[in-house]
Amino acid sequence: MRASPAPSLLLATLLLLLGSGGAVAPDALSAQTRTDLTGSWVFSVTTENGTGTPSVTLEQEGEEITGLYSSPRLGARRLMGTFDGDTLVFRIAPGEGSEIIMTFTGTLQEDGTLAGTADFGGMGGASFTAVRSGTRIGTGTALPRGMKSWSAVD
């Protein structure tokens, strides 16, 4: 007849499993649930002087963000930053003849959009919203500033 394991060993094993929340590899689980911001985005940037709609292309590798910010006013500029949890922070390189670095800080919203603020190197600021290019949005979602109706964003 085989002896049963000591009750203290069973209790210790149970506490170990419960104490870890049943998670075997927390990093593996968080990696599975991370949002990838890679792709094209249409921003609506509102300043005291009006609203602009730059296009932004993001590339994400882990938490690192790189890409391109393009607008008629600023032209095309490289960007670099991070996406950690639900917070995106990126900086836009200065343009020719400028030393101003613009910093955008925003959060990923439950509906998949981005919202936040921009600092223009201490020379003013803005609020922004952003939607992925080519997606149809609108059901129960507030209309981003600068957009007059919901339609596919190209």
Q: What percent of the chain has pLDDT over 70?
A: 65
* pLDDT tens for each residue of 43-91: 999 999 999 999 999 999 999 999 999 999 889 999 999 999 999 999 9
- What is the C-alpha to C-alpha distance for residues 129 and 42, in angstroms, rounded to an integer? 8
Give the homologous superfamily in CATH for domain 35-132.
Answer: Quinohemoprotein amine dehydrogenase alpha subunit, domain 2 (2.40.128.120)
- Cα end-to-end distance, the chain, whole Å: 73
Instruction: Please answer whether residues 152 and 135 qualify as being in contact, where contact means their C-beta atoms are separated by less than 8 angstroms.
Output: yes
Please give the structure tokens belonging to residue 68.
């391109």
- In terms of pLDDT, which residue wins out, 122 or 17? 122
Q: What is the DSSP string of 47-100?
A: ETTEEE--EEEEEEETTEEEEEEEETTTEEEEEEEEEETTEEEEEEPP-TT--P
Number of H helices, E strands in the chain: 2, 9
Q: What is the value of pTM for the model shown?
A: 0.67
The confidence score (pLDDT) of residue 26 equals: 45
Average pLDDT, the chain: 77
Domain ranges of the chain: 35-132
